[in-house]
Amino acid sequence: MTDAADEYIPMKHLLLLLFLALASCTTPQPGGTPGSLPPSSWGLPQIINVSAYDPKEKQRAGQGYSEHDVSALRANGASGLIARAGKGGNLDEKCGNFLAAADRSGLLPGVYYRLQNHVDAVAQADQFCARAHSLARGRAWNAPALLLCADFDANSRLSDILRFMDRVESRTGVVPVAYLENSTHLKQLLSSADTATKAKLRRMPYWLALYAHDSGAGPVYPAPGSPHGLLHQYQVWSNWTLWQYGGVDWGHGRSQPKVYNHGMHRNSLYFGNLDRPVERNVFNGSHAALQSFWRQHGLPLH
């Protein structure tokens, strides 16, 4: 316990502390090195993912964005943007505009493709690679690389996951990131794979989806609680790379944000001062590590 004399701070020191506090709250501006914003309050870089369903409808006062202008995402602390290139044989018409807008704003650009069971996995991989190559050649980029990600449907077959991965790597030289839902089927499928298959799967960085500590609880698996609990249930990866902690559902005539808010991880339903919900992720590392990761698992843009 301190006495009163120890707690006295001269006025000039108080003014200096106030100035430093205000300076640290300055809103980052677009431009500069892609992905170079300071870490979020978690101490981790923030990544936004979008699709043709974005932007969602306006729900409150605040900043908006579109596929032609994502500067509000950058201003609110995002370091990267991953747009859906297509799903199940169909291309996403907003993808190119989202990525061009992201690059103009200084966000690292990435693409994902949602693999679905009703179309051959290799055909979907070919469509994804053709789209990624077209996007990479389509403009003069500021960013160093275009991140490649595979979004595997909750009911995907293990053979299709591996075929998609192999085809993307053979056509691009890049091992894609693996996005997996909190799915009982996928957990059973991957956790029961043999040692060689698990080693192959681990070459893809793990992008997990967990919006609540009790998501996924059921008769087969208990609530994962945290990303590490979900890792344990999959029994493939030793760590995660991206965590989608904020998702969006549709219900009662509007978009419904669902955001992890438990224990040490407390989050608003909205990203900064955005006027609508958006899907949000954190990268498990520093900004320097983010840059390296983006290059390692992305198509070179220069």
> Whose CA is closest to 132, among 88, 163, 92?
92
| Rounded-to-integer distance, Cα 158 and Cα 265, Å | 32
Q: How confident is the model over 171-186, as a mean pLDDT?
A: 97
pLDDT tens digits along 76-92: 999 999 999 999 999 99
Tokens of 209: 């989806």
Question: What pLDDT does 27 receive?
Answer: 37
| Residue 162: other Cβ atoms inside 10 A | 15
pLDDT confidence of 32, banded at 50, 70, 90? low
Please tell me whether residue 251 adopts helix, strand or coil conformation. Answer: strand
Mean pLDDT, residues 255-279: 93
Distance CA 197, CA 165 (A): 12
Residue 172 has a CB neighbour count (10 Å cut-off) of 20
Question: In the predicted model, what is the mean pLDDT of residues 290-301?
Answer: 98
What is the share, in percent, of the chain residues with pLDDT greater than 70? 86
On whether the CB atoms of residues 136 and 283 are closer than 8 A, the answer is no
Mean pLDDT of 32-58: 81
Average pLDDT over residues 114-134: 98
CA distance 35 to 288: 9
For residues 282 and 99, give the distance between their C-alpha atoms in angstroms, rounded to a whole number.
19
- According to DSSP H, which parts of the chain are helical? 11-24, 71-75, 95-105, 121-137, 158-172, 184-191, 195-201, 227-234, 287-296
Cα–Cα dist 37/34, whole Å = 8
pLDDT tens string 210-221:
999 999 999 999
pLDDT tens digits for 223-258?
999 999 999 999 999 999 999 999 999 999 999 999
Closest CA to 111 of 136, 142, 138: 136
Structure confidence at residue 163 as a pLDDT band (50, 70, 90): very high
pLDDT attached to residue 2:
34
Q: Is 68 helix (H, G, I), strand (E, B) or coil?
A: coil
Nearest to 294 by CA among 156, 121, 102: 102
- Residue 37: predicted pLDDT: 56
Residues in the chain: 302
Mean pLDDT, the chain, rounded, equals 89
User: What's the rounded mean pLDDT across residues 14-41?
Assistant: 43
pLDDT for the residue 43: 83
The backbone torsions φ and ψ at residue 276, rounded to the nearest 5 degrees and listed phi first, read -155, 160
- pLDDT at position 121 over 90: yes
Tokens 């991989």 belong to 125
Q: How many CB atoms lie within 10 A of CB 244?
A: 21
